[in-house]
Amino acid sequence: MKLATRAISIAVVVLAAVVALPAGAGASPAVPCPSLPSQAAIPARLVQGVDLTVCDLAGRSVSANGVEVVIPARGEGVQAEAAGSTGGGFLRVEVGADGKVAVITEEAQAATTTTSAYDRCTDYSFATTAKFSPTAFYLNSTERRPGNIAKSIFESIALSSFSTWKNGTNSCGLTPALKVPGSLSSGAWTYDANFTLSGGCGTRDSRNVVDWGPLAGGNLGLTCTWLVNGAAVEKDVRLDNSERAWTTGQTGCTTAYDVRSVLTHELGHALSLGHAAEYGGSDLTMSPNIGACQVSARVLGAGDVRAIQTQHGG
Ligand SMILES: [Zn+2]
């Protein structure tokens, strides 16, 4: 009799423990550590919600939408924005103070058109990202430059691209009032943008750099943004030197990509603009698509002007 009572008591205790587990958890259930694929980059969806205090993912790259980033430290974030000939790429990974990873793969739009009837002077589509007010970007015009792009010409193009945003230079007769911060410093700099060997956003070093180097996939140019507690603290820009021909002129182009158009687009990201939604063929500078020989992105369209005015109007 005594034995039977004890057995029932134990059974009740065990049952209570099993029932109590889900109710007692309170907070959302922990996301299990992903089983890590053998390739260098982990698909970003596998780390959504993962707790870095439990899962050791230090130094690992994650990928989505054709771009990669290295998972940042607690309280920090990293964002990759790419331009391509067949579309752009976007990925932001943030790690909370509690170590939880948040993955964002969609860009928020500030304004969009909904028809293809617009051209670049009537399309006011734009997007912005965390406001960044740099003091300087350092241009590495010396290393890894494509062989047909002269150093002095590249420097001149880069300064023109930066001035386009400083002055709001556009093809639509708009006269924006701007106070765009910072400058582009060309010269003998040999700082490297903080990219990984596979062309993703790596670990920040507090210096904003524009350079050439290999990018992944079909990316023409990529801008990395590092964030601390949601505030942008560093931007690096890289143009791809591995997969395509580049041009600096408009004549005789058949398959090459225009350095000034792509760099002006990337410097828009560097000044905290996102990708404009592209419904038609309006081809704003901040549209994520830049085709071979396309030079229209050298100067701004209506949405680009609206975007820089929103971020840095003065
Ligand atoms: Zn872009």
Which pLDDT belongs to residue 26? 53
Residue 50 lies in a domain: no
Sheet with 76-84: strands ordered across: 101-104, 89-95, 76-84, 219-228, 231-240, 209-213, 136-139, 183-185
Residue 209 lies in a domain: no
Which pLDDT belongs to residue 139? 98
Cβ-Cβ contacts under 8 Å for 159 (sequence gap 6 or more): 184, 186
Which pLDDT belongs to residue 18? 39
CA distance 143 to 2: 85
Residue 135 corresponds to which tokens in the numbers above? 């003091």
Which pLDDT belongs to residue 87? 80
Ligand 1 centroid distance, CA of 276 (Å): 9
Ligand 1 centroid distance, CA of 81 (Å): 5
Which pLDDT belongs to residue 28? 67
Ligand 1 centroid distance, CA of 88 (Å): 6
CA distance 126 to 157: 24
Is there a contact between 283 and 302 (Cβ–Cβ < 8 Å)? no
Which pLDDT belongs to residue 216? 82
Residue 113 lies in a domain: yes
Which pLDDT belongs to residue 119? 87
Residue 179 corresponds to which tokens in the numbers above? 């106070």
Which pLDDT belongs to residue 110? 83
Residue 14 corresponds to which tokens in the numbers above? 């065990």
Specify which residues 51 forms β-bridges with.
100
Residue 120 lies in a domain: yes
Is there a contact between 94 and 74 (Cβ–Cβ < 8 Å)? no
Instruction: Find the length of the chain.
Output: 314
Ligand 1 centroid distance, CA of 235 (Å): 13
Residue 59 lies in a domain: no
Per DSSP bridges, beta strands 183-185 and 246-247 are: unpaired
Half-sphere exposure of 205 (CA within 13 A, CB side): 13
Residue 187 lies in a domain: yes
Name the stretches of the chain with pLDDT < 50: 1-25
Residue 122 lies in a domain: yes
Number of domains in the chain: 1
Which pLDDT belongs to residue 224? 98
Ligand 1 centroid distance, CA of 285 (Å): 9
Ligand 1 centroid distance, CA of 270 (Å): 10
Residue 77 lies in a domain: no
Which pLDDT belongs to residue 23? 41
- The CATH number for 308's domain is 3.40.390
CA distance 313 to 306: 9
Which pLDDT belongs to residue 2? 44
What is the residue range of 259's domain? 108-192+242-312
Is there a contact between 232 and 226 (Cβ–Cβ < 8 Å)? yes
DSSP 8-state code for residue 144: S
Ligand 1 centroid distance, CA of 222 (Å): 7
